[in-house]
């Protein structure tokens, strides 16, 4: 299934999110207008707002109450991307120049800060204390995860445990915010809320593993950003971990981190991942997380959204093919 | 009066803030511990927590209720400084290397983000919706003000109006958060709350003007950072504005912005400001704002904090001598 087919049942509400985001970009300050307009018009899949909307479909669905939060989670996501690209000095995202490339590091940092504040502002406007608290958790976790990543960059002592900790923080935390907040704002009973929270968490992990596979086997065109960028930044993801586990004495990741030729070793690592069962093994791990994400959905009310959540999980893990 | 004399009546509570900030620095993540410890041990005057405490002294004072917010305003301040120094690539703050200098741009951006989130988390823990909303306002204003500053850098068309807009955003907004939140959390009647809000706003303006004078006439030792750094970054502050108003045809700011020698023109501008009445005129403007800040304090209950707020305002505008 294509994403637009999966989104079909909530298409109208996603348009409302899109319109809301557009209105965030219209401010009095001319110096902010262009930046916001550019950042908000990216090529994102609006996956997090979709998760928020879908998670709100099981009980008392109210788009008006939901909308600020669905916008907040996307703004939070965009803010972290803008800061990430700035930190990594990335040039391309969604197949176009990054904010830092077009406007420079200075404005990119400030734009990220503004987006964080605006996300907070929107979350606060829900006047739901639990939702407000939920929003701040990911921001602390994301920065913590990114700092953990920065601290471990180019280090050979890496564990799967550390990898899963990092991706829980940097990716799954925001998925959890989307699903749990959607549940909370639709007066979902606690047991169902926890099911949706769990779905968000496991789906976030699966999503990031697939992203990390694509960084090895994708093309720049598919990804909208350069391939092999994780290793280039010294970030060890699951495929690289498996490579190191398989060839502990001698492998291109080790050579790279010990100062070997960058281009040559990244190319070699990519080839070794692509031409081995590592890709499939990573996919199997992601697939297990997809299963964990969906296994309790059957205990939610039998609404259309339940099938959509499953379809979305399937879409996310099938992106790698 | 020295600052420690002024602070004497609230010294015990400021120690509680300091201890609270220290505890923020103790987290499980080793990669975050060092960074936080360093950032929190700076040489700041803890002016904003002091303003929060003093503003809470007129009605139902409750330190326990106040503490998270008093810490939040300082963390917010520190977060903006960490990002500012990163953006400006500054090397020295409080007479020691900046976070970006010690740990690099990447970690400095993330540390700032973490501090923002932690500030939000603390504000949320007050469970006071007005305080939570008040906290997000400055962050949007600060980034808006900084972006306005970045957009106008090295441009000759500058107005006093634009200058006051910028410093309202980037400095006064956080002062307002401190005083208004202190009032709100001590159940201050709305009329008195507005007096304290106004005090915070005008004092913030006065404070920034004095800071901007000191950037011309101070020494690196006094300031804990290099002198003339505003002009070096193309930022036009009140003294530079007055210089341009006085010599519209030919002045070192114009020469600098038109590509003239950096060192030479900054030196010349500094000399012209120091050897003219401009310093005094700027001080008079700051002094007017100090008066505006204090003029309504007489309508607050006659508590010791009233005199302390006046002393603090006097201290702030007398820093220039």
Closest CB to B120 among A35, A113, A120: A120
* Pairing verdict, β A96-97 and A92-93: antiparallel
d(CA A84, CA A225): 13
Collect all residues of chain A within an 8 Å Cβ-Cβ radius of residue B105.
87, 105
| Mean of pLDDT over chain B | 92
Query: For residue B42, is pLDDT > 80?
Result: no
Mutation target among B120, B162, B235 for the A interface, most CBs of A within 10 A: B120
pLDDT at position A320:
55
Please state, as a whole number, how many other Cβ atoms lie within 10 Å of the Cβ of residue B75. Answer: 27
Q: Is the dihedral of CA A74, A80, A84, A86 positive or negative?
A: positive
Query: For residue B50, is pLDDT > 60?
Result: yes
pLDDT at position A98:
93
pLDDT at position A300:
98
Lowest mean pLDDT among A175-189, A230-244, B143-157: B143-157
d(CA A171, CA B231): 41
**Tally of residues, chain A:** 321
Highest mean pLDDT among B26-35, B87-96, B254-263: B254-263
pLDDT at position A138:
83
Q: What are phi and psi of B140, to 5 degrees?
A: -70, -40
* Pairing verdict, β A92-93 and B92-93: unpaired
Query: Is B114 in Cβ contact with A144 (below 8 Å)?
Result: yes
Residue window 60-99, chain A: list those with CB within 8 Å of chain B: 83, 86-88
Residue window 288-317, chain B: list those with CB within 8 Å of chain A: none
Query: For residue A21, is pLDDT > 90?
Result: yes
For residue B140, what are its two tokens?
């949007």
- Nearest-Cα distance to chain B for A117, in Å, is 6
Using pLDDT thresholds of 50, 70 and 90, give the confidence band for residue B247: very high
User: Measured between alpha carbons, how far is residue A284 from residues A270, B141, B203 in Å?
Assistant: 19, 47, 61
pLDDT at position A149:
84
Query: Is B87 in Cβ contact with A151 (below 8 Å)?
Result: no
Query: Is B117 in Cβ contact with A147 (below 8 Å)?
Result: no
pLDDT at position B77:
95
Mean pLDDT of B153-178: 92
Assess contact for A117 and B136: CB atoms under 8 A. yes
Give B278-309 pLDDT, tens digit per residue: 999 999 999 999 999 999 999 999 999 999 99
For residue A317, what are its two tokens?
């893990």
CB contact, 8 Å: A26 with chain B? no
Highest mean pLDDT among A256-270, A303-317, B153-167: A303-317
Counting one residue from chain A and one from chain B, the pairs whose CB atoms sit within 8 A come to 120
Closest CB to B109 among A29, A86, A151: A86
Give B185-230 pLDDT, tens digit per residue: 999 999 999 999 999 999 999 999 999 999 999 887 777 777 888 9
Collect all residues of chain B within an 8 Å Cβ-Cβ radius of residue A113.
83, 112, 116, 139, 142-143
Local structure of B97: helix, strand or coil:
strand
pLDDT at position A156:
86
d(CA A110, CA A86): 11
Collect all residues of chain B within an 8 Å Cβ-Cβ radius of residue A29.
144, 147-148
d(CA A41, CA A25): 9
Residue in chain B lying closest to A165 (CA): B29
Mean pLDDT of A172-189: 97
CB contact, 8 Å: A142 with chain B? yes
Using H for helix, E for strand and C for coil, what is the string for chain A? CCHHHHHHHHHHHHHHHHHHHHHHCCCCCHHHHHHHHHHHCCCCCCHHHHHHHHHCCCCCCCHHHHHHHHHHHHHHHHHHHHHHHHHHCCCEECCEECHHHHHCHHHHHHHHHHHHHHHHHHHHHCCCHHHHHHHHHHHHHHHHHHHHHHHHCCCCCCCHHHHHHHHHHHHHHHHHHHHHHHHHCCCCCHHHHHHHHHHHHHHHHHHHHHHHHHHHHCCHHHHCCCCCHHHHCCCCCHHHHHHHHHCCCCCHHHHHHCCCCHHHHHHHHHHHHHCCCHHHHHHHHHHHHHHHHHCCHHHCCCCHHHHHHHHHHHHHHHCCC
The secondary structure of residue B92, as a DSSP letter, is: E
ipTM of the complex: 0.84
Give A94-149 pLDDT, tens digit per residue: 889 999 999 999 899 999 999 999 999 999 999 999 999 998 888 888 888 888 88
d(CA A84, CA A89): 8
d(CA A103, CA A33): 13
Closest CB to A113 among B120, B139, B150: B139
Percentage above 70 pLDDT, chain B: 99
CB contact, 8 Å: B3 with chain A? no
Give B114-126 pLDDT, tens digit per residue: 999 999 999 999 9
Residues 6+ apart with CB under 8 A from A296: A195, A198, A199
Using pLDDT thresholds of 50, 70 and 90, give the confidence band for residue B320: low
pLDDT at position B17:
96
pLDDT at position A68:
97
CA angle A62, A64, A68 (to 5 degrees): 115
Task: Give the E-state strand segments of chain B in sequence order.
Answer: 92-93, 96-97
Query: Is A116 in Cβ contact with B116 (below 8 Å)?
Result: yes
d(CA B53, CA B39): 22
| Mean of pLDDT over chain A | 92
pTM for the structure as a whole: 0.89
Residue in chain B lying closest to A152 (CA): B31
pLDDT at position A145:
84
Give B58-87 pLDDT, tens digit per residue: 999 999 999 999 999 999 999 999 999 998
Mean pLDDT of A158-183: 94
Query: Is A147 in Cβ contact with B110 (below 8 Å)?
Result: yes
pLDDT at position A307:
97
pLDDT at position A298:
97
Query: For residue A225, is pLDDT > 90?
Result: no
Residues 6+ apart with CB under 8 A from A43: A94, A95, A96, A224
B291, β-bridge pairs: none
Query: For residue A223, is pLDDT > 80?
Result: no
Residue window 28-67, chain A: list those with CB within 8 Å of chain B: 29-32, 35
Collect all residues of chain A within an 8 Å Cβ-Cβ radius of residue B106.
87-88, 150
d(CA A307, CA A10): 12
Closest CB to B113 among A31, A111, A139: A139
Query: For residue A291, is pLDDT > 90?
Result: yes
Closest CB to B117 among A107, A136, A150: A136
Mean pLDDT of B94-118: 92
CB contact, 8 Å: B132 with chain A? yes
Query: For residue B32, is pLDDT > 80?
Result: yes
CB contact, 8 Å: A236 with chain B? no
Assess contact for B100 and B90: CB atoms under 8 A. yes
pLDDT at position A139:
83
Give A59-81 pLDDT, tens digit per residue: 999 999 999 999 999 999 999 99
**Tally of residues, chain B:** 321
Domains of chain B by range and CATH?
Answer: 3-310 (1.10.600.10)
């Amino acid at each position: 299934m294509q994403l637009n087919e999966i989104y079909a049942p909530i298409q109208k509400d996603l348009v409302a999110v899109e319109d809301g985001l557009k209105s965030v970009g219209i401010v009095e300050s001319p110096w902010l207008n262009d930046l916001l307009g550019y950042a908000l018009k990216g090529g994102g899949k609006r996956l997090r707002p979709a998760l928020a909307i879908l998670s709100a479909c099981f009980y008392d669905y109210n788009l008006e109450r939901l909308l600020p939060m669905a916008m907040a989670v996307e703004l939070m996501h965009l803010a972290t991307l803008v800061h990430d690209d700035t930190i990594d000095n990335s040039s391309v995202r969604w197949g176009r120049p990054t904010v830092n490339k077009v406007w420079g590091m200075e404005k990119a940092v400030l734009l990220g800060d503004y987006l964080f504040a605006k996300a907070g502002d929107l979350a606060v406007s829900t006047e739901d204390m639990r939702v407000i608290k939920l929003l701040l958790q990911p921001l602390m976790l994301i920065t913590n995860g990114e700092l953990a990543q920065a601290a471990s960059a180019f280090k050979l002592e890496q564990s799967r445990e550390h990898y899963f900790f990092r991706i829980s923080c940097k990716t799954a935390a925001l998925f959890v915010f989307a699903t749990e907040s959607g549940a909370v704002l639709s007066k979902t009973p606690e047991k169902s809320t926890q099911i949706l929270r769990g779905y968000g968490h496991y789906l976030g992990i699966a999503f990031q593993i697939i992203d990390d596979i694509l960084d090895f086997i994708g093309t720049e065109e598919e990804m909208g950003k350069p391939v092999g960028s994780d290793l280039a930044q010294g970030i060890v993801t699951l495929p690289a971990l498996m490579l190191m586990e398989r060839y502990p004495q001698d492998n291109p990741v080790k050579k790279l981190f010990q100062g070997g030729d960058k281009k040559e070793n990244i190319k070699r690592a990519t080839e070794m991942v692509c031409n081995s069962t590592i890709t499939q093994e990573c996919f199997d791990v992601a697939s297990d997380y997809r299963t964990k994400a969906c296994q309790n959905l059957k205990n939610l009310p039998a609404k259309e959204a339940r099938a959509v959540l499953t379809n979305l999980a399937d879409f996310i893990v099938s992106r790698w093919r």
